[in-house]
């Protein structure tokens, strides 16, 4: 036994870890939506009250969990997605850290209701601040519903630092956009305080972009498609004449995961050089598919920052692809004018 050094009790360790994973309602939304995707859901509903401060609920029709697994899911580092460190470099799932549910349950009131197709009865479990307060068999549809209430009820400092309802709802909506854009084959719904904000039927990438961003973007998109050994790029860039002084809409997805990457952003904006007026920004929705072992997504708990093996080559390819698409677009326009 050591003199003064002690292992932290689990609920304390979970609450500390939660500080990194769960910063605001939008972080909970991201984690729950990603779990539903990893469960192979075809339809996912997000129900939010008071910008997520009161309720964040995600209903999926995925594969569900056994009673034992539903209980285990809330342990820290408990995951069905990887078993060894090697698999970190060959990920096909959004999750792998086994931290999200444990972290969320450390700082909120969580109820989970879940059932697998092969089970007659499902399970419901309620947890408050990492403590299981109820667990019983339950009649449930196949799939999983996770309800997160009273986020940060036991971390007043965090609760106080939440922004206004408008700002937190904007964060939640942005997170919903990112996940929905990356997965056009999944039907997504989103309601806030009882009113339906989005109902996005399964479709193509283009249909999803238009359904999320509004019909006004429909005639502003130029398609990009390029296949190389290092990466495949597909998606759309906004026509130069539609660039605005505002920040614009900039989306990079790597292997179906939204990421932020200022270096690759520069690759796109530099391809627009000379086509945009000073201070305006291009819009783009670019989906990059790279070999899983050429990107490290485990450099930050929220996984929006990633490290590529060969960033310089990616930069060159992306810049060239955007220039190519813009070139074609310009040539097409000229042809069109000649006619």
Q: Interface with ligand ADP by CB under 6 A: which residues?
A: 31, 35-36, 39, 60, 62-65, 73, 78-81, 95-102, 144
Token duo for residue 183:
């997965």
Q: What does 80 interact with, of ligand ADP, Mg ion, none (CB < 5 to 8 A by kind)?
A: ligand ADP
13: Cα within 13 Å, side-chain hemisphere: 10
Residues engaged in binding Mg ion (CB under 5 A)? 35, 95, 100
User: At closest approach, how far in Å is the CB of 101 from ligand ADP?
Assistant: 4
When the beta carbons of 258 and 284 are compared against Mg ion, the nearer one is 258
Q: What does 124 interact with, of ligand ADP, Mg ion, none (CB < 5 to 8 A by kind)?
A: none
Instruction: Tell me if 223 sits within 8 A of 321, measured CB to CB.
Output: no
User: At closest approach, how far in Å is the CB of 98 from ligand ADP?
Assistant: 4
When the beta carbons of 101 and 286 are compared against ligand ADP, the nearer one is 101
Q: What does 96 interact with, of ligand ADP, Mg ion, none (CB < 5 to 8 A by kind)?
A: ligand ADP
User: At closest approach, how far in Å is the CB of 2 from ligand ADP?
Assistant: 30
User: At closest approach, how far in Å is the CB of 251 from ligand ADP?
Assistant: 23
Q: What does 144 interact with, of Mg ion, ligand ADP, none (CB < 5 to 8 A by kind)?
A: ligand ADP
When the beta carbons of 232 and 298 are compared against ligand ADP, the nearer one is 298
User: At closest approach, how far in Å is the CB of 61 from ligand ADP?
Assistant: 10
What is the DSSP pairing of strand 187-192 with strand 43-49?
parallel
Closest residue (Cβ) to ligand ADP?
95
User: At closest approach, how far in Å is the CB of 253 from ligand ADP?
Assistant: 19
Q: What does 59 interact with, of ligand ADP, Mg ion, none (CB < 5 to 8 A by kind)?
A: none
Compute the distance between CA of residue 209 and CA of residue 201 in angstroms, rounded to an integer.
12
Q: What does 81 interact with, of Mg ion, ligand ADP, none (CB < 5 to 8 A by kind)?
A: ligand ADP
């Amino acid at each position: 036994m050591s003199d003064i050094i002690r292992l932290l009790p689990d609920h304390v360790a979970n609450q500390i870890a939660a500080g990194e994973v769960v910063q605001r309602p939008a972080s909970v939304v991201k984690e729950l939506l990603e779990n539903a995707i990893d469960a192979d859901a075809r339809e996912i509903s997000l129900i939010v009250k008071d910008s997520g401060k009161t309720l964040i609920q995600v209903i999926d029709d995925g594969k569900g969990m056994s009673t034992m697994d539903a209980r285990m899911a809330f342990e820290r580092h408990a995951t069905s997605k990887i078993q060894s460190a090697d698999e970190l470099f060959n990920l096909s799932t959004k999750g792998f850290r086994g931290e999200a549910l444990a972290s969320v349950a450390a700082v909120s009131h969580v109820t989970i209701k879940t059932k697998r197709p092969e089970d007659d009865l499902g399970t419901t479990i309620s947890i408050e601040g990492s403590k299981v307060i109820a667990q019983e068999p339950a009649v449930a549809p196949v799939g999983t519903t996770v309800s997160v209430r009273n986020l940060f009820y036991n971390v007043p400092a965090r609760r106080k630092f939440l922004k206004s309802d408008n700002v937190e709802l904007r964060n939640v909506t942005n997170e919903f956009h990112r996940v929905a854009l990356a997965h056009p084959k999944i039907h997504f719904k989103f309601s806030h305080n009882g009113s339906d904000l989005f109902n996005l039927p399964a479709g193509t990438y283009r249909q999803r972009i238009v359904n999320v961003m509004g019909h006004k973007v429909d005639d502003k998109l130029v398609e990009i498609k390029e296949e190389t050994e290092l990466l495949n790029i597909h998606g759309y860039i906004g026509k130069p004449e539609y660039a605005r002084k505002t920040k614009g809409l900039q989306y990079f997805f790597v292997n179906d995961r939204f990421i932020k990457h200022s270096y690759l952003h520069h690759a796109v904006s530099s391809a627009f050089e000379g086509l945009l007026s000073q201070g305006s920004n291009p819009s783009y929705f670019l989906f990059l598919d790279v070999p899983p072992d050429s990107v490290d997504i485990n450099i930050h708990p929220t996984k929006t920052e990633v490290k590529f093996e060969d960033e310089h080559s990616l930069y060159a390819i992306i810049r060239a692809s955007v220039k190519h698409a813009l070139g074609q677009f310009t040539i097409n326009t000229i042809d069109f004018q000649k006619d």
